[in-house]
Amino acid sequence: MTTALCPGSFDPPTNGHVDVINRVVSAFDRVVVSVLDNPSKNSMFSVDERVGMINEIHGDDVEVIVFSGLLVDHAREVGADVVVKGLRTVDDYEYENQMAQMNRHLTGMETVFMPTHPEYGFISSSLVKEVARLGGSMNGLVPDVVESALKERLS
Ligand code: PNS
């Protein structure tokens, strides 16, 4: 059985995250989605809220876990064979490739890159939050559960 680990902040999950996770679910036997608990980051949603949203979106297709500390230590704890990251742009590649090489250096953990569907290539959690704060439409950007959570948080 091959286990893939999809780590991230998911503050909040976007349609880009959902698309990548769905494709990872199709490609691997077991998928763990790990939400980074980083108290020094000024997040809009608590880790529990983010875990709840991902569970609501993906149901039994994935296991959702909170982690802190080094990703490679967490990956070993959950029995992950590979880390999977979505790639949107060349900037993403530069950043993600550096992290992938560091992670391989640390424990040998391999990273697989999944190109984002072009329809979602411009979407990021930070832009979604900015657009939502300024009253823009969330149509096509986030799942319904996230749109409702954004509305509630910003009302
Ligand atoms: O969604 P994000 O914010 O781009 O996710 C980044 C994340 C959580 C995958 C990355 O920050 C991470 O792996 N953090 C854990 C700390 C760690 O292992 N740092 C060394 C990475 S080489």
DSSP letters, 91-135, are HHHHHHHHHHHHHHHHH--EEEEEEPPGGGTT--HHHHHHHHHTT
Mean pLDDT of the chain: 97
Number of neighbours of residue 12 by Cβ within 10 angstroms = 25
Over residues 14-33, the pLDDT tens digits come to 999 999 999 999 999 999 99
Task: Output DSSP code: residue 81.
Answer: S
Over residues 47-102, the pLDDT tens digits come to 999 999 999 999 999 999 999 999 999 999 999 999 999 999 999 999 999 999 99
143 lines ligand 1 (CB under 6 A): no
Distance, in Å, from the CA atom of 95 to the CA atom of 131, rounded to the nearest integer, reads: 24
Distance, in Å, from the CA atom of 48 to the CA atom of 35, rounded to the nearest integer, reads: 9
Distance, in Å, from the CA atom of 150 to the CA atom of 138, rounded to the nearest integer, reads: 9
Mean pLDDT confidence for 147-155: 97
Residue closest via CA to ligand 1's atom 5 equals: 8
Predicted local confidence at residue 83, as pLDDT? 98
**CATH number of the domain at 3-154, please?**
3.40.50.620
Mean pLDDT confidence for 34-56: 97
User: Confidence band (pLDDT; 50, 70, 90) for 105?
Assistant: very high
Predicted local confidence at residue 44, as pLDDT? 98
Predicted local confidence at residue 38, as pLDDT? 93
Annotated catalytic residue, options 9, 17, 50, 85: 17
Predicted local confidence at residue 117, as pLDDT? 96
At 118, list the tokens. 């072009």
CA atoms within 13 A on the CB side of 144: 1
**Cβ atoms of residues 8 and 36 within 8 Å:** yes
Share of the chain above pLDDT 90, in %: 99
Cα 82 to middle of ligand 1, angstroms: 14
Sheet holding 82-87, edge to edge: 63-67, 30-36, 3-8, 82-87, 110-115
Domain ranges of the chain: 3-154
Mean pLDDT confidence for 99-117: 98
Sequence-separated (6 or more) residues with CB below 8 Å from residue 64: 32, 33, 34, 35, 51, 54, 55, 58
pTM, 2 dp: 0.97
Cα 98 to middle of ligand 1, angstroms: 11
Share of the chain above pLDDT 70, in %: 100
